[in-house]
Structure 1
Amino acid sequence: MAPRLPLPTSSAVPVLSLLPTSHTPFKLVYASHGRWPLLPDAEQSSARSPTPLRISVLDSSFNPPHLAHLSLAQHGDYDAHLLALTIGNPDKGRLEQSAVAVRVEMMRALALDLQRRAGEPGGKKGWANVAVAVMEAPTFTSKSRILREELDALAREQTGRDDASVRLTFPVGWDTVIRIFAPRYYQPPNPDLASSMHDLFGTDDSSVTCARRGDISRSEESEFLAGPEVQKWARQGKVELFDLPDEARAISSTAIRAAVQEDRWDDVARSIPVKGIVDIVRRDRLYRQ
Protein backbone atom coordinates (compact mmCIF):
# COMPACT_ATOMS: atom_id res chain seq x y z
CA MET A 1 0.00 0.00 0.00
CA ALA A 2 1.25 3.50 -0.81
CA PRO A 3 1.50 6.08 1.99
CA ARG A 4 -1.85 7.78 2.52
CA LEU A 5 -2.24 11.47 1.86
CA PRO A 6 -1.74 14.08 3.13
CA LEU A 7 2.00 13.58 3.18
CA PRO A 8 3.81 14.46 6.43
CA THR A 9 5.28 17.88 5.62
CA SER A 10 5.70 19.02 9.25
CA SER A 11 9.15 18.92 10.81
CA ALA A 12 7.62 17.31 13.92
CA VAL A 13 6.75 13.62 13.51
CA PRO A 14 5.52 11.54 16.50
CA VAL A 15 8.10 8.90 17.44
CA LEU A 16 5.52 6.10 17.43
CA SER A 17 4.67 6.89 13.79
CA LEU A 18 8.23 6.31 12.61
CA LEU A 19 8.53 2.55 12.58
CA PRO A 20 7.37 0.43 9.66
CA THR A 21 5.44 -2.74 10.43
CA SER A 22 5.38 -6.26 9.02
CA HIS A 23 2.40 -5.16 6.92
CA THR A 24 3.95 -1.84 5.86
CA PRO A 25 7.74 -2.15 5.45
CA PHE A 26 7.99 1.43 4.16
CA LYS A 27 6.90 4.63 5.90
CA LEU A 28 7.24 8.14 4.53
CA VAL A 29 7.83 10.43 7.53
CA TYR A 30 8.60 13.78 5.89
CA ALA A 31 8.09 15.40 2.49
CA SER A 32 9.04 18.90 1.37
CA HIS A 33 5.52 19.45 0.01
CA GLY A 34 2.19 17.66 -0.15
CA ARG A 35 2.49 16.37 -3.72
CA TRP A 36 5.91 14.73 -3.49
CA PRO A 37 7.42 13.04 -5.56
CA LEU A 38 5.95 15.35 -8.20
CA LEU A 39 7.80 18.61 -8.70
CA PRO A 40 6.72 21.26 -6.19
CA ASP A 41 5.20 23.46 -8.88
CA ALA A 42 3.52 20.65 -10.81
CA GLU A 43 0.06 21.62 -12.00
CA GLN A 44 -2.97 19.78 -10.67
CA SER A 45 -3.57 18.39 -14.17
CA SER A 46 -0.08 16.76 -13.95
CA ALA A 47 0.35 17.49 -17.64
CA ARG A 48 3.94 18.60 -17.04
CA SER A 49 4.86 15.80 -14.64
CA PRO A 50 7.53 13.55 -16.17
CA THR A 51 7.06 9.82 -16.19
CA PRO A 52 8.92 7.91 -15.09
CA LEU A 53 9.90 10.26 -12.27
CA ARG A 54 13.64 9.99 -11.72
CA ILE A 55 14.26 9.61 -7.98
CA SER A 56 17.62 9.51 -6.21
CA VAL A 57 17.37 7.25 -3.15
CA LEU A 58 20.13 7.80 -0.60
CA ASP A 59 19.86 4.82 1.73
CA SER A 60 22.25 5.00 4.67
CA SER A 61 22.53 4.61 8.43
CA PHE A 62 22.97 8.42 8.80
CA ASN A 63 24.91 7.99 12.04
CA PRO A 64 25.31 10.94 11.76
CA PRO A 65 24.51 12.53 8.38
CA HIS A 66 27.59 14.36 7.09
CA LEU A 67 29.20 16.09 4.12
CA ALA A 68 29.66 12.89 2.13
CA HIS A 69 25.93 12.12 2.49
CA LEU A 70 25.13 15.63 1.28
CA SER A 71 27.50 15.23 -1.68
CA LEU A 72 25.92 11.87 -2.58
CA ALA A 73 22.46 13.45 -2.45
CA GLN A 74 23.60 16.33 -4.67
CA HIS A 75 25.16 14.12 -7.32
CA GLY A 76 23.31 13.82 -10.62
CA ASP A 77 20.14 15.46 -11.87
CA TYR A 78 16.84 14.02 -10.61
CA ASP A 79 13.20 15.00 -10.34
CA ALA A 80 13.05 14.06 -6.65
CA HIS A 81 15.21 12.87 -3.78
CA LEU A 82 14.54 10.40 -0.98
CA LEU A 83 16.64 9.99 2.17
CA ALA A 84 15.94 6.47 3.44
CA LEU A 85 16.86 4.86 6.74
CA THR A 86 16.80 1.06 6.75
CA ILE A 87 16.20 -0.07 10.32
CA GLY A 88 17.07 -3.74 9.78
CA ASN A 89 20.63 -4.47 8.64
CA PRO A 90 21.88 -8.04 8.13
CA ASP A 91 25.30 -7.04 9.51
CA LYS A 92 24.33 -4.61 12.31
CA GLY A 93 20.90 -5.82 13.44
CA ARG A 94 17.72 -3.81 13.97
CA LEU A 95 17.71 -0.24 15.27
CA GLU A 96 15.82 0.55 18.45
CA GLN A 97 12.95 3.03 18.30
CA SER A 98 14.87 5.76 20.16
CA ALA A 99 17.75 5.51 17.68
CA VAL A 100 15.34 5.69 14.75
CA ALA A 101 13.78 8.86 16.18
CA VAL A 102 17.05 10.77 16.45
CA ARG A 103 18.32 9.54 13.06
CA VAL A 104 15.08 10.72 11.41
CA GLU A 105 15.39 14.11 13.11
CA MET A 106 18.92 14.49 11.73
CA MET A 107 17.76 13.31 8.30
CA ARG A 108 15.03 15.96 8.29
CA ALA A 109 17.66 18.57 9.07
CA LEU A 110 19.69 17.29 6.09
CA ALA A 111 16.59 17.41 3.88
CA LEU A 112 15.85 21.00 4.92
CA ASP A 113 19.45 21.95 4.15
CA LEU A 114 19.17 20.33 0.72
CA GLN A 115 16.01 22.36 0.11
CA ARG A 116 17.84 25.54 1.11
CA ARG A 117 20.75 24.80 -1.19
CA ALA A 118 18.37 24.37 -4.12
CA GLY A 119 17.81 28.13 -4.11
CA GLU A 120 21.49 29.07 -4.01
CA PRO A 121 23.70 29.73 -7.06
CA GLY A 122 24.47 26.39 -8.65
CA GLY A 123 21.58 24.69 -6.87
CA LYS A 124 19.31 22.24 -8.65
CA LYS A 125 15.54 22.35 -8.61
CA GLY A 126 15.25 18.67 -7.71
CA TRP A 127 17.07 19.24 -4.40
CA ALA A 128 14.00 21.07 -3.09
CA ASN A 129 11.84 18.05 -3.90
CA VAL A 130 12.95 15.80 -1.06
CA ALA A 131 11.42 13.33 1.38
CA VAL A 132 12.53 11.18 4.31
CA ALA A 133 11.48 7.55 4.81
CA VAL A 134 12.03 4.64 7.16
CA MET A 135 11.98 1.12 5.78
CA GLU A 136 12.81 -2.46 6.64
CA ALA A 137 14.49 -4.36 3.83
CA PRO A 138 17.65 -6.48 4.17
CA THR A 139 19.03 -6.13 0.62
CA PHE A 140 19.03 -3.55 -2.15
CA THR A 141 16.90 -5.92 -4.21
CA SER A 142 14.19 -5.82 -1.56
CA LYS A 143 14.62 -2.06 -1.09
CA SER A 144 14.13 -1.51 -4.81
CA ARG A 145 11.10 -3.78 -4.98
CA ILE A 146 9.39 -2.15 -1.99
CA LEU A 147 10.16 1.37 -3.17
CA ARG A 148 8.97 0.69 -6.71
CA GLU A 149 5.66 -0.66 -5.39
CA GLU A 150 5.15 2.18 -2.92
CA LEU A 151 6.36 5.08 -5.05
CA ASP A 152 4.73 3.88 -8.28
CA ALA A 153 1.44 3.77 -6.37
CA LEU A 154 2.07 7.22 -4.87
CA ALA A 155 2.96 8.69 -8.27
CA ARG A 156 -0.27 7.28 -9.74
CA GLU A 157 -2.25 8.71 -6.84
CA GLN A 158 -0.61 12.12 -7.10
CA THR A 159 -0.95 12.42 -10.87
CA GLY A 160 -4.21 10.57 -11.43
CA ARG A 161 -2.48 8.72 -14.26
CA ASP A 162 -2.45 4.94 -14.48
CA ASP A 163 0.85 5.01 -16.39
CA ALA A 164 2.75 7.10 -13.80
CA SER A 165 5.87 5.39 -12.46
CA VAL A 166 9.29 6.05 -10.95
CA ARG A 167 12.85 5.09 -11.84
CA LEU A 168 15.23 4.72 -8.91
CA THR A 169 18.94 5.44 -8.65
CA PHE A 170 20.83 4.56 -5.47
CA PRO A 171 23.94 6.71 -4.84
CA VAL A 172 26.26 4.63 -2.64
CA GLY A 173 29.81 4.41 -1.36
CA TRP A 174 32.42 1.86 -2.40
CA ASP A 175 31.87 -0.44 0.59
CA THR A 176 28.15 -0.55 -0.13
CA VAL A 177 28.48 -1.39 -3.82
CA ILE A 178 30.80 -4.26 -2.87
CA ARG A 179 28.11 -5.55 -0.48
CA ILE A 180 25.42 -5.26 -3.16
CA PHE A 181 27.33 -7.81 -5.26
CA ALA A 182 28.52 -10.00 -2.37
CA PRO A 183 27.20 -13.58 -2.78
CA ARG A 184 26.91 -14.09 1.00
CA TYR A 185 23.75 -11.94 1.08
CA TYR A 186 21.99 -14.17 -1.48
CA GLN A 187 22.12 -17.61 0.05
CA PRO A 188 19.27 -20.20 0.10
CA PRO A 189 16.39 -20.00 0.74
CA ASN A 190 16.75 -16.52 -0.81
CA PRO A 191 17.21 -15.98 -4.56
CA ASP A 192 20.82 -16.24 -5.75
CA LEU A 193 22.98 -13.28 -6.73
CA ALA A 194 22.31 -13.45 -10.48
CA SER A 195 18.53 -13.60 -10.02
CA SER A 196 18.63 -10.79 -7.47
CA MET A 197 20.64 -8.51 -9.75
CA HIS A 198 18.23 -9.23 -12.60
CA ASP A 199 15.36 -8.18 -10.34
CA LEU A 200 17.17 -5.01 -9.22
CA PHE A 201 18.54 -3.76 -12.53
CA GLY A 202 16.27 -5.51 -15.02
CA THR A 203 12.77 -5.95 -13.62
CA ASP A 204 12.81 -2.83 -11.44
CA ASP A 205 14.96 -0.83 -13.90
CA SER A 206 16.88 0.64 -10.95
CA SER A 207 20.53 1.69 -11.07
CA VAL A 208 23.48 2.35 -8.75
CA THR A 209 25.98 5.20 -8.82
CA CYS A 210 29.06 4.64 -6.67
CA ALA A 211 31.35 7.30 -5.24
CA ARG A 212 35.02 6.47 -5.67
CA ARG A 213 37.23 6.11 -2.62
CA GLY A 214 40.66 7.69 -2.62
CA ASP A 215 42.38 4.53 -1.43
CA ILE A 216 40.96 2.33 -4.20
CA SER A 217 43.13 2.18 -7.33
CA ARG A 218 41.74 2.35 -10.85
CA SER A 219 42.98 -1.19 -11.42
CA GLU A 220 40.87 -2.36 -8.47
CA GLU A 221 37.90 -0.48 -9.91
CA SER A 222 38.43 -2.11 -13.29
CA GLU A 223 38.67 -5.54 -11.70
CA PHE A 224 35.40 -4.97 -9.86
CA LEU A 225 33.58 -3.69 -12.97
CA ALA A 226 34.84 -6.69 -14.95
CA GLY A 227 33.41 -9.15 -12.41
CA PRO A 228 30.96 -11.73 -13.81
CA GLU A 229 27.89 -10.27 -12.07
CA VAL A 230 28.90 -6.62 -12.45
CA GLN A 231 30.12 -6.40 -16.04
CA LYS A 232 26.74 -7.01 -17.66
CA TRP A 233 25.02 -4.26 -15.73
CA ALA A 234 27.92 -1.81 -15.94
CA ARG A 235 27.78 -2.09 -19.74
CA GLN A 236 24.10 -1.16 -19.61
CA GLY A 237 24.83 1.91 -17.48
CA LYS A 238 23.21 0.41 -14.40
CA VAL A 239 26.42 0.58 -12.35
CA GLU A 240 28.52 3.73 -12.66
CA LEU A 241 31.37 5.31 -10.70
CA PHE A 242 31.84 9.01 -10.00
CA ASP A 243 34.11 11.29 -7.97
CA LEU A 244 33.01 13.04 -4.80
CA PRO A 245 34.38 16.52 -4.10
CA ASP A 246 37.82 16.31 -2.49
CA GLU A 247 36.58 17.71 0.83
CA ALA A 248 33.94 14.97 1.13
CA ARG A 249 35.96 11.96 -0.02
CA ALA A 250 37.78 11.16 3.24
CA ILE A 251 34.91 11.83 5.66
CA SER A 252 33.49 8.95 7.66
CA SER A 253 30.86 8.59 10.36
CA THR A 254 33.35 6.67 12.51
CA ALA A 255 35.81 9.58 12.46
CA ILE A 256 33.05 12.06 13.30
CA ARG A 257 31.91 10.00 16.28
CA ALA A 258 35.51 9.87 17.51
CA ALA A 259 35.81 13.66 17.13
CA VAL A 260 32.66 14.13 19.24
CA GLN A 261 34.08 11.91 21.98
CA GLU A 262 37.24 14.00 22.01
CA ASP A 263 35.33 17.35 21.92
CA ARG A 264 36.93 18.35 18.61
CA TRP A 265 33.90 20.38 17.57
CA ASP A 266 35.68 22.34 14.83
CA ASP A 267 36.41 19.02 13.12
CA VAL A 268 32.81 17.95 13.64
CA ALA A 269 31.49 21.17 12.09
CA ARG A 270 33.76 20.76 9.06
CA SER A 271 32.49 17.22 8.53
CA ILE A 272 28.83 18.09 9.19
CA PRO A 273 28.06 21.31 7.30
CA VAL A 274 24.48 21.41 8.63
CA LYS A 275 24.22 23.30 11.93
CA GLY A 276 20.90 21.65 12.79
CA ILE A 277 22.56 18.22 12.80
CA VAL A 278 25.46 19.39 14.98
CA ASP A 279 22.92 20.93 17.37
CA ILE A 280 21.12 17.57 17.70
CA VAL A 281 24.40 15.77 18.37
CA ARG A 282 25.20 18.28 21.13
CA ARG A 283 21.67 18.37 22.58
CA ASP A 284 21.32 14.60 22.88
CA ARG A 285 24.98 14.03 23.81
CA LEU A 286 25.27 11.50 21.02
CA TYR A 287 28.38 9.32 20.70
CA ARG A 288 29.64 10.29 24.16
CA GLN A 289 30.01 6.74 25.44
Structure 2
Amino acid sequence: MSALAKQLKDFLASKSDFRIVYSSLATSPLANESTRRIFVLDSSFNPPHLAHYALAKEALKFKYNNLETPKDELSLLLLLSVKNADKVLETPAAYDHRLNMMLLMAQYLEKNLDVHVSIGLTNHAKFVDKSVALINYLKTYFAKEYHSIKVTFAVGFDTLVRILDPKYYLPDLLLDLLQEFMTTTDLFCLTRSENVESYQEQMDYFGQLRHGKLDNIPKAWADNIHVMSVEQDRDGVGLVSSTSVRAAFASGITNNVPVIPEIKKYIEENKLYAES
Protein backbone atom coordinates (compact mmCIF):
# COMPACT_ATOMS: atom_id res chain seq x y z
CA MET A 1 0.00 0.00 0.00
CA SER A 2 1.37 3.41 -0.97
CA ALA A 3 1.86 6.17 1.60
CA LEU A 4 -1.05 8.15 0.14
CA ALA A 5 -3.31 5.10 0.11
CA LYS A 6 -2.50 4.44 3.77
CA GLN A 7 -3.28 8.04 4.68
CA LEU A 8 -6.57 7.78 2.81
CA LYS A 9 -7.49 4.59 4.66
CA ASP A 10 -6.58 6.15 8.01
CA PHE A 11 -8.59 9.28 7.22
CA LEU A 12 -11.71 7.33 6.21
CA ALA A 13 -11.48 5.36 9.46
CA SER A 14 -10.99 8.47 11.59
CA LYS A 15 -13.39 11.08 12.90
CA SER A 16 -11.29 13.87 11.41
CA ASP A 17 -12.92 16.21 8.90
CA PHE A 18 -9.70 17.54 7.35
CA ARG A 19 -6.18 16.22 6.85
CA ILE A 20 -3.07 17.18 4.88
CA VAL A 21 -1.63 14.08 3.18
CA TYR A 22 1.15 15.74 1.17
CA SER A 23 3.04 19.01 1.29
CA SER A 24 6.03 20.43 -0.56
CA LEU A 25 6.84 22.56 2.49
CA ALA A 26 9.68 21.08 4.49
CA THR A 27 8.97 23.02 7.68
CA SER A 28 5.23 22.43 8.11
CA PRO A 29 2.25 21.20 6.10
CA LEU A 30 0.15 23.63 4.09
CA ALA A 31 1.64 26.91 5.35
CA ASN A 32 4.52 28.49 7.24
CA GLU A 33 5.30 31.78 8.98
CA SER A 34 5.64 33.55 5.62
CA THR A 35 2.29 32.43 4.18
CA ARG A 36 -0.27 35.19 3.67
CA ARG A 37 -2.73 33.55 1.27
CA ILE A 38 -3.77 29.93 0.74
CA PHE A 39 -5.50 29.12 -2.54
CA VAL A 40 -7.83 26.14 -2.38
CA LEU A 41 -8.46 24.24 -5.60
CA ASP A 42 -11.39 22.00 -4.68
CA SER A 43 -12.37 19.36 -7.21
CA SER A 44 -13.18 15.70 -7.73
CA PHE A 45 -9.88 15.46 -9.68
CA ASN A 46 -11.36 12.65 -11.73
CA PRO A 47 -8.91 13.19 -13.34
CA PRO A 48 -6.83 16.36 -12.79
CA HIS A 49 -6.58 18.23 -16.11
CA LEU A 50 -5.29 21.41 -17.72
CA ALA A 51 -8.34 23.46 -16.73
CA HIS A 52 -7.29 22.86 -13.11
CA TYR A 53 -3.80 24.05 -14.00
CA ALA A 54 -5.15 27.17 -15.75
CA LEU A 55 -7.37 28.03 -12.78
CA ALA A 56 -4.45 27.70 -10.35
CA LYS A 57 -2.15 29.76 -12.58
CA GLU A 58 -4.62 32.63 -12.97
CA ALA A 59 -5.54 32.64 -9.27
CA LEU A 60 -1.88 32.83 -8.24
CA LYS A 61 -1.00 35.76 -10.49
CA PHE A 62 -4.16 37.80 -9.89
CA LYS A 63 -3.62 41.10 -8.05
CA TYR A 64 -5.95 41.00 -5.05
CA ASN A 65 -6.98 44.52 -4.05
CA ASN A 66 -4.60 45.65 -6.82
CA LEU A 67 -1.60 44.36 -4.88
CA GLU A 68 0.94 41.79 -6.07
CA THR A 69 1.79 39.12 -3.50
CA PRO A 70 5.32 37.61 -3.45
CA LYS A 71 5.39 33.92 -4.42
CA ASP A 72 6.90 32.88 -1.08
CA GLU A 73 3.79 34.22 0.67
CA LEU A 74 1.44 32.04 -1.38
CA SER A 75 0.43 28.42 -0.92
CA LEU A 76 -1.81 26.16 -3.02
CA LEU A 77 -4.00 23.39 -1.62
CA LEU A 78 -5.48 20.67 -3.83
CA LEU A 79 -8.52 19.56 -1.83
CA LEU A 80 -10.38 16.30 -2.42
CA SER A 81 -13.70 15.67 -0.73
CA VAL A 82 -14.66 12.08 -0.07
CA LYS A 83 -18.25 13.25 0.06
CA ASN A 84 -20.01 15.22 -2.69
CA ALA A 85 -23.32 17.01 -2.26
CA ASP A 86 -24.55 15.93 -5.70
CA LYS A 87 -23.06 12.45 -6.02
CA VAL A 88 -23.10 9.10 -4.29
CA LEU A 89 -19.94 8.24 -2.33
CA GLU A 90 -17.55 6.22 -4.47
CA THR A 91 -15.37 3.32 -3.38
CA PRO A 92 -12.05 4.14 -1.69
CA ALA A 93 -10.15 2.40 -4.49
CA ALA A 94 -11.20 5.17 -6.87
CA TYR A 95 -9.75 7.74 -4.49
CA ASP A 96 -6.41 5.90 -4.40
CA HIS A 97 -5.94 6.65 -8.08
CA ARG A 98 -7.14 10.22 -7.74
CA LEU A 99 -4.64 10.92 -4.98
CA ASN A 100 -1.83 9.47 -7.05
CA MET A 101 -2.82 11.71 -9.97
CA MET A 102 -3.16 14.70 -7.64
CA LEU A 103 0.42 14.09 -6.50
CA LEU A 104 1.59 14.15 -10.12
CA MET A 105 -0.32 17.39 -10.66
CA ALA A 106 1.04 18.88 -7.42
CA GLN A 107 4.61 18.18 -8.51
CA TYR A 108 3.87 19.71 -11.93
CA LEU A 109 2.39 22.83 -10.32
CA GLU A 110 5.36 23.19 -7.98
CA LYS A 111 7.80 23.00 -10.87
CA ASN A 112 5.95 25.23 -13.34
CA LEU A 113 4.36 27.83 -11.06
CA ASP A 114 7.05 27.96 -8.37
CA VAL A 115 4.58 27.66 -5.51
CA HIS A 116 4.23 25.52 -2.40
CA VAL A 117 1.57 22.85 -2.99
CA SER A 118 -0.25 20.60 -0.53
CA ILE A 119 -2.88 17.89 -0.91
CA GLY A 120 -5.74 17.69 1.57
CA LEU A 121 -8.71 15.43 2.30
CA THR A 122 -12.05 16.44 3.76
CA ASN A 123 -15.33 14.66 4.42
CA HIS A 124 -17.39 17.81 3.87
CA ALA A 125 -19.45 18.44 0.75
CA LYS A 126 -20.30 22.12 1.15
CA PHE A 127 -17.76 24.91 0.71
CA VAL A 128 -18.86 26.61 3.93
CA ASP A 129 -18.04 23.46 5.92
CA LYS A 130 -14.75 22.94 4.08
CA SER A 131 -13.76 26.50 4.94
CA VAL A 132 -14.52 26.00 8.63
CA ALA A 133 -12.50 22.76 8.71
CA LEU A 134 -9.53 24.45 7.03
CA ILE A 135 -9.63 27.49 9.30
CA ASN A 136 -9.85 25.25 12.38
CA TYR A 137 -6.75 23.44 11.10
CA LEU A 138 -4.93 26.75 10.74
CA LYS A 139 -5.98 27.75 14.26
CA THR A 140 -4.50 24.53 15.60
CA TYR A 141 -1.16 24.72 13.79
CA PHE A 142 -0.72 28.49 13.55
CA ALA A 143 -2.42 29.77 16.68
CA LYS A 144 -0.82 33.22 16.55
CA GLU A 145 -0.42 33.68 12.81
CA TYR A 146 -3.62 32.23 11.35
CA HIS A 147 -5.43 35.60 11.45
CA SER A 148 -2.91 36.93 8.90
CA ILE A 149 -3.59 34.09 6.44
CA LYS A 150 -6.34 34.63 3.85
CA VAL A 151 -8.12 31.57 2.47
CA THR A 152 -9.17 31.87 -1.18
CA PHE A 153 -11.22 29.23 -3.00
CA ALA A 154 -10.41 29.18 -6.73
CA VAL A 155 -13.50 28.15 -8.69
CA GLY A 156 -15.05 28.17 -12.11
CA PHE A 157 -18.24 30.05 -12.90
CA ASP A 158 -20.56 27.03 -12.56
CA THR A 159 -19.16 26.26 -9.11
CA LEU A 160 -19.57 29.87 -7.98
CA VAL A 161 -23.23 29.79 -9.01
CA ARG A 162 -23.72 26.58 -6.99
CA ILE A 163 -22.05 28.12 -3.93
CA LEU A 164 -24.54 31.00 -4.09
CA ASP A 165 -27.58 28.85 -4.93
CA PRO A 166 -30.06 28.71 -2.00
CA LYS A 167 -31.28 25.19 -2.89
CA TYR A 168 -28.05 23.61 -1.62
CA TYR A 169 -28.67 24.98 1.88
CA LEU A 170 -32.33 24.10 2.42
CA PRO A 171 -34.05 24.01 4.84
CA ASP A 172 -31.61 26.62 6.16
CA LEU A 173 -31.29 30.09 4.67
CA LEU A 174 -28.30 30.84 2.43
CA LEU A 175 -27.71 34.18 4.17
CA ASP A 176 -27.52 32.57 7.61
CA LEU A 177 -25.05 29.87 6.57
CA LEU A 178 -22.82 31.87 4.22
CA GLN A 179 -22.45 35.09 6.20
CA GLU A 180 -19.49 33.80 8.23
CA PHE A 181 -17.97 32.09 5.17
CA MET A 182 -18.02 35.31 3.16
CA THR A 183 -16.38 37.12 6.08
CA THR A 184 -13.48 34.72 6.62
CA THR A 185 -12.99 33.49 3.05
CA ASP A 186 -12.90 34.96 -0.43
CA LEU A 187 -13.44 33.49 -3.87
CA PHE A 188 -11.51 33.74 -7.12
CA CYS A 189 -13.60 32.94 -10.20
CA LEU A 190 -12.24 32.30 -13.68
CA THR A 191 -14.89 32.57 -16.38
CA ARG A 192 -15.37 29.90 -19.02
CA SER A 193 -15.74 31.35 -22.51
CA GLU A 194 -17.61 28.57 -24.30
CA ASN A 195 -19.27 31.03 -26.67
CA VAL A 196 -20.29 34.68 -26.86
CA GLU A 197 -23.72 34.02 -25.34
CA SER A 198 -22.44 32.12 -22.30
CA TYR A 199 -19.70 34.69 -21.72
CA GLN A 200 -22.27 37.50 -21.73
CA GLU A 201 -24.51 35.55 -19.35
CA GLN A 202 -21.60 35.27 -16.93
CA MET A 203 -20.85 38.99 -17.15
CA ASP A 204 -24.54 39.76 -16.56
CA TYR A 205 -24.50 37.55 -13.45
CA PHE A 206 -21.46 39.35 -12.04
CA GLY A 207 -23.09 42.70 -12.80
CA GLN A 208 -26.19 41.71 -10.83
CA LEU A 209 -23.99 40.45 -8.01
CA ARG A 210 -22.05 43.72 -7.77
CA HIS A 211 -25.25 45.77 -7.76
CA GLY A 212 -27.05 43.61 -5.18
CA LYS A 213 -29.72 42.43 -7.61
CA LEU A 214 -29.46 38.70 -6.84
CA ASP A 215 -32.03 37.41 -4.35
CA ASN A 216 -30.67 36.53 -0.88
CA ILE A 217 -27.14 37.67 -1.75
CA PRO A 218 -25.94 40.89 -0.07
CA LYS A 219 -24.20 43.40 -2.32
CA ALA A 220 -21.24 43.50 0.11
CA TRP A 221 -20.35 39.89 -0.72
CA ALA A 222 -19.18 41.01 -4.15
CA ASP A 223 -16.14 42.59 -2.45
CA ASN A 224 -14.95 39.08 -1.54
CA ILE A 225 -15.46 37.64 -5.02
CA HIS A 226 -12.58 38.32 -7.41
CA VAL A 227 -13.32 37.71 -11.08
CA MET A 228 -10.86 37.05 -13.89
CA SER A 229 -12.79 37.61 -17.11
CA VAL A 230 -11.27 35.89 -20.13
CA GLU A 231 -13.40 36.64 -23.19
CA GLN A 232 -10.99 34.82 -25.49
CA ASP A 233 -10.06 31.34 -24.28
CA ARG A 234 -6.33 31.93 -24.49
CA ASP A 235 -5.38 28.64 -22.82
CA GLY A 236 -7.77 26.58 -24.93
CA VAL A 237 -9.30 24.98 -21.84
CA GLY A 238 -12.66 26.75 -21.67
CA LEU A 239 -14.51 23.62 -22.76
CA VAL A 240 -12.45 21.15 -20.74
CA SER A 241 -14.31 19.09 -18.17
CA SER A 242 -13.54 15.89 -16.31
CA THR A 243 -16.38 14.23 -18.22
CA SER A 244 -14.88 15.10 -21.61
CA VAL A 245 -11.44 13.91 -20.50
CA ARG A 246 -12.81 10.57 -19.30
CA ALA A 247 -14.73 10.19 -22.55
CA ALA A 248 -11.54 10.75 -24.54
CA PHE A 249 -9.75 7.97 -22.69
CA ALA A 250 -12.77 5.68 -23.01
CA SER A 251 -12.77 6.21 -26.78
CA GLY A 252 -9.03 5.67 -27.08
CA ILE A 253 -8.58 9.00 -28.92
CA THR A 254 -6.08 10.68 -26.62
CA ASN A 255 -3.65 12.50 -28.93
CA ASN A 256 -4.71 15.93 -27.71
CA VAL A 257 -6.29 15.06 -24.38
CA PRO A 258 -5.86 18.07 -22.01
CA VAL A 259 -3.89 16.45 -19.20
CA ILE A 260 -0.22 16.64 -18.32
CA PRO A 261 1.96 13.83 -19.79
CA GLU A 262 2.55 12.22 -16.39
CA ILE A 263 -1.18 11.87 -15.73
CA LYS A 264 -1.86 10.63 -19.27
CA LYS A 265 0.72 7.90 -18.74
CA TYR A 266 -0.75 6.98 -15.35
CA ILE A 267 -4.29 6.72 -16.71
CA GLU A 268 -3.21 4.56 -19.64
CA GLU A 269 -1.06 2.27 -17.51
CA ASN A 270 -3.89 1.72 -15.02
CA LYS A 271 -6.66 1.64 -17.67
CA LEU A 272 -8.73 3.95 -15.46
CA TYR A 273 -11.36 5.10 -17.93
CA ALA A 274 -11.24 2.34 -20.52
CA GLU A 275 -14.61 1.10 -21.72
CA SER A 276 -15.56 -2.21 -20.13
Structure 2-normalised TM-score? 0.82
Which structure carries more helix by proportion?
2
Decide whether aligned partners of structure 1 residues 283 and 99 sit closer, same or farther in structure 2, where only a CA change above 3 A counts. Answer: same
Residue 267 of structure 1 aligns to a residue whose secondary structure is: coil
Matched, 1:37 2:30: yes
Decide whether aligned partners of structure 1 residues 258 and 206 sit closer, same or farther in structure 2, where only a CA change above 3 A counts. Answer: same
For 1:171, the aligned partner's letter is: A
What CA deviation, in whole Å up to 9, does each residue of 1:158-206 have, x standing for no partner? xxxx243431111111221111111111112xx420112202112xx21
Percent of counterpart pairs with the same letter?
29
**Matches of 2:238 and 2:193 in 1, distance apart?**
7
Residue 265 of structure 1 aligns to a residue whose secondary structure is: coil
Which one of the candidate residues 77, 88, 96 is aligned to 1:101? 96
Decide whether aligned partners of structure 1 residues 253 and 163 sit closer, same or farther in structure 2, where only a CA change above 3 A counts. Answer: closer
**Residue 285 (structure 1) aligns with:** 271
Decide whether aligned partners of structure 1 residues 28 and 163 sit closer, same or farther in structure 2, where only a CA change above 3 A counts. Answer: closer
What CA deviation, in whole Å up to 9, does each residue of 1:13-35 have, x standing for no partner? 24132153462011211101232
Structure 1 residue 66: Cα displacement: 0.5
Tell me, which stretches of 5 or more residues in structure 1 are unaligned?
1-11, 40-45, 119-124, 157-161
Q: Answer yes or no: is the 8 Å Cα contact 2:4–2:99 preserved in 1.
A: no
**Residue 257 (structure 1) aligns with:** 246
**Matches of 1:66 and 1:229 in 2, distance apart?**
34
Matched, 1:196 2:188: no
Matched, 1:140 2:127: yes
Decide whether aligned partners of structure 1 residues 163 and 113 sit closer, same or farther in structure 2, where only a CA change above 3 A counts. Answer: closer
**Matches of 1:152 and 1:91 in 2, distance apart?**
30
What CA deviation, in whole Å up to 9, does each residue of 1:200-256 have, x standing for no partner? 112xx2111112122423244323524134452453233534336431212111111
Q: Answer yes or no: is the 8 Å Cα contact 2:4–2:100 preserved in 1.
A: no
Q: Answer yes or no: is the 8 Å Cα contact 1:36–1:130 preserved in 2.
A: no
Q: Answer yes or no: is the 8 Å Cα contact 1:186–1:192 preserved in 2.
A: yes
Tell me, which stretches of 5 or more residues in structure 2 are unaligned?
61-72
Alignment of 1:180-195 (within 5 A): 180-188=163-171, 191-195=172-176
**Matches of 1:242 and 1:13 in 2, distance apart?**
39
Structure 1-normalised TM-score? 0.79
**Matches of 1:109 and 1:231 in 2, distance apart?**
40
Poorly superposed stretches of 4+, deviation over 4 Å: none
**Matches of 1:106 and 1:258 in 2, distance apart?**
17
Decide whether aligned partners of structure 1 residues 252 and 199 sit closer, same or farther in structure 2, where only a CA change above 3 A counts. Answer: same
Residue 74 of structure 1 aligns to a residue whose secondary structure is: helix
**Residue 87 (structure 1) aligns with:** 82
**Matches of 1:259 and 1:31 in 2, distance apart?**
31
**Residue 199 (structure 2) aligns with:** 217
What CA deviation, in whole Å up to 9, does each residue of 1:51-107 have, x standing for no partner? xx2000000011111110011111233610000011101211213210111001000
**Residue 3 (structure 1) aligns with:** none
For 1:236, the aligned partner's letter is: D
For 1:36, the aligned partner's letter is: P
Which one of the candidate residues 105, 110, 121 is aligned to 1:110? 105
What CA deviation, in whole Å up to 9, does each residue of 1:128-161 have, x standing for no partner? x1100111112110011111111232234xxxxx
**Matches of 1:93 and 1:241 in 2, distance apart?**
32
